[in-house]
Chains A and B, each alone.
Chain A
Amino acid sequence: MVRLTIDDRPVEAPDGATILDAARQLGIEIPTMCFMEGCSPSTSCMLCVVSLAPSGKMVPACATAAEEGMQVQNDCPQVRAARVMALELLLSDHAGDCMGPCEIGCPAKMDIPEMIRRIAAGDTASAIAVIKEDIALPAVLGRICPAPCEKVCRRNQLDEAVSICLLKRFAADADLASAAPYVPPRSTAKKKRVAIVGAGPAGLSAAYYLARRGYDCTIFDDRPKPGGALRDGVGQDRLPHNVLDKEIEQVLRLGVALRPNTRIGRDESLDALCDAHDAVFVAIGKTTPEAAAELGLKAAGKGVAVDGATYQTDRPKVFAGGDVIRNRQLAVRSAADGKEAAEAIDQYLCGQPVTGPEKPFNTRIGQLEASEVEAFKHCASTEPRQAPPQVHAGFEKASAIAEALRCLHCDCRKPDDCKLRMYSRQFEVRAARYKGPRRSFRQETGHPEVIYESGKCIDCGLCIQIAAAEGERLGLAFIGRGFNVRVAAPFDKTITEALAVAARRCAKACPTGALALKQPEG
């Protein structure tokens, strides 16, 4: 046994234990990326560096043996600075987007590439589930959204953007036309009541996501029929009322109550509403500072004043979103506000700190090099953008699939379990701190189980070790040296040939999105 201290806490570790092992005994988490139990330490990413007092020497915790009398510093500015730099250096040589530009461009942050993959696979029913994670009224938005997502689509660099909006409409229409339209899973009832003022895109969206979370929601609207600006401000040639009605019906099906012809501030006071509910979401659409004052809420330039991240007004338990706070007249923005406010309200009602939705960490490739556009092309159809049969019409199934096949899939397949992304967020690093030559985006999609994007590789070599241990005939190797080193199959062979048996294990071990499963498990 050896005795040492980590952040001044004494620990006794067995002989041969590493600093990382000893830290785990104390419940101290030392971040690692290239280390994996069962593989020999790569000492590559250097995220696990710790400092040894009193020399100040920096060593990787994953491979440094714990020694008698060692004084390890894990939580100190020097170590933190080194970890931040390790991450920032890795990101400076990272060619991959955490999210596709379309997802980032979408105000509702919908997982567009995943929706497209499902449509391309002919699985329209599951595509709607993906859509409704972020957009409550897809059939509506599929008709009226100006599609900011398409403006930033990488396919523009090749020919024209993928017709994302119409694909969403296709999936939504197919769902509404089906015998049993999609109903999302609902959490158990929370026995808390939320009043929603306004049945426009923001209010309907908030109601949908709050109801899914188990809240008892009531929508108050001063008009006889719900829909707000969607009903009054859009021509029926673009958005027929029957579509709007059907989609609102899907919201109400979740148990959301509707109180039409009720104007808050006139028929019922905000005070009374607050008394009768645990939270109130104000989404009355375009308004004036005077009208806001009439409601008893603090006003700002464009309407009701709220905290930008949490949608909280100056009044306790009252939130506001949609055009009432920003007057953008962009339905998808209002819908996004409703969804985000629902999350903030949920935090508030659960007694958690109200922070609003977490801001995702994103690295972005930016403009693609010519060779990178080529790399993307390989996995997409070369067909031109499909046009619907006539104006205001949607896709048929065949044309929807053909259009979906045009997607370049520039999103990451491991957005949620990529360690590089996770630690980059945790350490609040700047993705673009260092600029300079970087590796190119490359994509290999031929393997039945995994996808390989070497631009996202951090050269940890875990896959090389695993492939060798699993007895791959070909396996993987470090090719080249120094800054240009890449993990690849020997003799320019494909990943399909290299990973005949170990692909799944390699993909699961990969700390980034470089090697990812095509079909996420579970």
Chain B
Amino acid sequence: MMDAVDLTFVDETVGRVGTTADKVLEILQAIQSHYGYLPREALERVCETTEITPASIAGISTFYDQFRHSPAGKHIIRVCVGTACHVKGAGQVYDAFHRHLKIATGQDTDPAGLFTVEKVACLGCCTLAPAVQIGEITYGHVAPDKVAGVLEDFLRHQEAPAARKRAAASVAADSEGELRIGLGSCCIARGSGKLNEALNRALQETGINAAVKHVGCVGMCHQTPLLEVVLPSRGTFLYARVEPEDAKPILLRHFKVQGLRKKVSNTVSHLLDDIMVKEDGDPVMRYAIGVRDKPVADFLAKQKHIATEYCGVIDPVDIDEYVSKGGFEALEKCTRQLDPEEIIGEIERSGLRGRGGAGFPAHLKWAAVHRRPDETKYVVCNGDEGDPGAFMDRMLMESYPYRIIEGLAIAARVVGAKVGYFYIRAEYPLAIKRMTTAIEQCRARGLVGPDVSGQGFSLELKIVAGAGAFVCGEETALLASIMGQRGMPRLRPPYPAQKGLWGKPTLINNVETYALVPWIIRNGGEAFAQSGTRTSKGTKVFALAGKVARGGLIEVPMGISIREIVEEIGGGIGSGLRFKGVQVGGPSGGCVPAKLGHISVDYESLTAAGAIMGSGGLVVLDESDCMVDIARYFLEFTQDQSCGKCTFCRVGTRRMLDILERLCGGEGRKGDIEELQHLALMVKQSSLCGLGKTAPNPVLSTIEHFRDEYEAHILKRCPAGKCRALIRYSVTDECIGCTLCAQRCPVDAIAMRPYEKHEIDTDACIRCDTCRKVCPENAIRVE
């Protein structure tokens, strides 16, 4: 029997947060983080002490994925099942955790109550796929046979006494140089936090006088952690994939050690050489790369940084630096020189279209809210980036919070809003933290508050943390969520510009849209419109991930071809397999096959190809990816994320998924493809909101471009060798009997027979793919 729940915390939270109905999410989040779940008593207590009704709290607390209603294990393991992770085997990783922790079927917590394993829609660390988050730590490239190691590492980390915080070296006036270290989520997950500590330690030990500078995402997520050494006199040196123990040798290579320590310098120099030669493979690639090196040059050459201006240079939360690089000039201009009509005119000239997905012209939305006579209006920033396989908005919020705030403040000035909301996914704690810090800094500078820049207009900014519901990316659902309701979309019209938050006109734009605004105001709409195509102007930020050699955050001019992105920026397929296509636009998008790689990246061309621009997730697929499985994957996602309001989406997507599961499970029947198409067209046509109307896209586009794969599945064959029910593993004559596969097989389906050809017991085999991955001779066949 559980102990009675101590409700003091609930009362304190209510006292701190407030008692109005719209506070429900914040209160629930606090309760969940305090108790680890939502105890019934706590919820009832909230209803007694606030305006929140039992019906409302029950509805809301069961709507969002974030909330648990039963106690969880001591630590939560979140296995990312985003698109990039899915294509790299996240399902097998999830199963492996379950197996390793001996979690019973239908349960999510191990018998000891130490770990709870959950799936999470997307951690937004797509370049680390498959990614797993345990507590605060993110692990990248997790394979089924590595889960034991990951858990061990995590527990070790827990046991270690908390590392003493060292004061970061402040920017000294007489600094001999600067050490730039990326602290985006991906970088931290790959160890840039530890590297940061090691650098500070090394600086203290050596007495080197250099400033450590934190910069946002550099975009080269495939190379993280990155360390850039900037020496005023001698240029810039970029080190990739730096380990904490490399910090000192790198410092000693570039900086002179004061006084007595000179001797040490020589010794350590040798040490550095040691490391560089003893490393197998390509030591230069692992450590020092120059911007002039070809891969880096290629990665950067085709890009154009507007939303990501000063990428890898600017400290995300340093407001002075932002100001020193032209920050808030645009806001200043908008408050002092331009009237709202002029600003709207500039936006119109830029041709800016909403970057959230649908591409609605920004100036029309702005003008619509501006025109409304209402006294009260709102501006909202949609930072609920829920698409699996997308991490653009996270990177922008983590790296350029001031730019987004500036863009939103300009919009508020134009439409006459006094309150602005940032709705940010709870899965992005770092983004929330940085945005919070940035808003505080702005407030301290008078850039937000009762009298912005002394210009007599007031602007209050608030952050609302989402609670795990993809559908809240839909604008009417997002507004409902801000108001403390279930995130249910509603019929439009009325549009938010007419009736938004609390019935008032509300401007809602995506993170990237706002991030582009300051540049447009500073450089003029025409300068922005110089990039891009006739209908799609400027740049677009993409999260490039999947089977590409160099994944990361990229910003490219509209009109660039898919092939240029994949092959030139991304360096082609990492595995050496054939490029099959790209999935653009996530669950609302579609797959563009390799043969259409020449098409231009703009709103119209992508839609014509059966995909959509979407928010910018771009997952590259190779020939080992099964398109039926991809469609199934997305339908599983949308089906799970449907709000459940309208019949077509709630039940229709489920029935589509039934057919796809049947196909992937080897139970496809003649007529399934036609039935699937029929359902898909009707769901697309008759669903109430954008989620349902676009949910069939992944199915329709894969049927259109890869129909032969669907037909093969009806004949119980998976050409890509992906669908577990349709494939079997066997050992070829190449086997040298090294027993590696037998050792790693999690279900003992391979008998240990040294120096003999191994055999796989097909009945016992769970198709986890571990044997194929570990085999040094390529002797595992999948068919």
Contact = CB atoms under 8 A, between A and B. Distances in A.
Nearest to A484: B644
A483 to B, nearest CB: 5
A10 interface: no
Interface stretch (A88-96, A103-111, A283-291): A88-96
B491 A481 contact: no
B436 interface: no
Interface string B170-197: 0000000000000000000000000000
Contacts of B44: 491
Contacts of A468: 53, 55
B58 A482 contact: no
Nearest to A63: B491
Contact of B58 (A46, A65, A93, A491): A491
A484 B644 CA distance: 8
Interface in A449-488: 458-459, 464, 467-468, 472-485, 488
Contacts of B651: 89-90, 92-93, 434, 483
A478 B56 CA distance: 9
A482 B650 contact: yes
Nearest to A33: B647
B491 A480 contact: no
Contacts of A58: 685-686
A437 interface: yes
Contacts, number: 129
Interface stretch (A78-86, A162-170, A263-271): A78-86
B644 A485 contact: yes
Identify which of B486, B491, B646, B651 gathers the most chain A CB atoms within 10 Å of its CB.
Answer: B651
A371 to B, nearest CB: 13
Contacts of A85: 648, 652, 679, 682, 686
Contacts of B658: 434-437
Contact of A479 (B53, B59, B469, B685): B59
Given A86-B648, A89-B652, A481 B54 contact: no
Given A81-B682, A434-B655, A475-B55, A90 B644 contact: no
A477 B655 CA distance: 25
B639 interface: yes
B654 interface: yes
B55 A46 contact: no
A485 B55 contact: no
A299 interface: no
Interface in A47-79: 49, 56, 58-60, 63-65
A43 B491 contact: yes
Interface string A504-521: 000000000000000000
Given A464-B55, A480-B62, A482-B642, A82 B682 contact: yes
Interface of B is mostly: helix
Interface string B629-660: 00000000001111111111011111100100
B492 to A, nearest CB: 10
A58 B645 CA distance: 16
Given A46-B686, A82-B686, A89-B655, A483 B642 contact: yes
A90 B654 contact: no
Interface residues of B, number: 39
Contacts of B56: 477
A92 B646 contact: no
Contacts of A41: 491
A477 B59 contact: yes
B587 to A, nearest CB: 13
B639 A482 contact: yes
A461 to B, nearest CB: 8
Nearest to B41: A491
A479 B60 CA distance: 8
A482 B642 CA distance: 5
Nearest to A79: B686
Contact of A92 (B493, B648, B655): B655
Interface in A29-44: 41-44
A475 B53 contact: yes
Nearest to A478: B59
A92 B651 CA distance: 8
A44 to B, nearest CB: 5
A45 interface: yes
Nearest to A475: B55
B99 interface: no
A490 interface: yes
A479 B59 CA distance: 5
Contacts of B55: 464, 467-468, 472, 474-477, 490
Interface string B534-551: 000000000000000000
Contacts of B654: 93, 436-437, 483
A43 B647 contact: no
B688 interface: yes
B480 interface: no
Contacts of B655: 89, 92, 434, 436
A415 to B, nearest CB: 22
Contact of B63 (A59, A65, A436, A480): A480
A483 B686 contact: no
Contacts of A63: 491
A49 B486 CA distance: 24
A500 to B, nearest CB: 13
A89 B642 contact: no
B288 interface: no
A436 to B, nearest CB: 4
A49 B658 CA distance: 25
A474 to B, nearest CB: 5
Given A89-B652, A483-B650, A475 B644 contact: no
B43 interface: yes
Nearest to A435: B658
B647 A46 contact: yes
Contacts of A459: 644-645, 650
A478 B644 contact: yes
Nearest to B644: A485
B656 to A, nearest CB: 10
Contacts of B646: 43-46
Given A475-B55, A490-B55, A491-B54, A43 B652 contact: no
A476 B469 CA distance: 22
Contacts of A90: 647, 651
B57 to A, nearest CB: 7
Contact of B647 (A45, A436, A437): A45
Interface string B467-483: 00100000000000000
Contacts of A476: 55
B40 interface: yes
A55 to B, nearest CB: 11
B490 interface: yes
Contact of B685 (A43, A82, A474, A490): A82
A478 B624 CA distance: 41
Identify which of A65, A468, A474, A483 gathers the most chain B CB atoms within 10 Å of its CB.
Answer: A483
A472 B54 CA distance: 10
Interface string A384-398: 000000000000000
B33 to A, nearest CB: 21
B62 A481 contact: yes
B54 A475 contact: yes
A458 B651 CA distance: 10
Nearest to A82: B686
Nearest to A45: B647
Contacts of B53: 468, 475
B682 A60 contact: no
B647 A481 contact: no
Contact of A481 (B40, B642, B652, B653): B642
A318 to B, nearest CB: 46
A481 B43 contact: no
Give the 6 A-B residue pairs with the shortest CB-CB distance, closest first. A490-B58, A485-B644, A436-B658, A89-B651, A477-B59, A490-B54
10 contacts: A81-B682, A85-B679, A89-B652, A92-B651, A92-B655, A436-B655, A459-B644, A479-B59, A482-B642, A485-B650
Given A92-B655, A435-B658, A482-B642, 20 more contacts: A43-B646, A46-B686, A56-B685, A58-B686, A85-B652, A86-B648, A90-B651, A93-B651, A434-B655, A467-B55, A468-B55, A474-B54, A478-B59, A478-B63, A480-B62, A482-B639, A485-B644, A490-B54, A490-B58, A491-B44
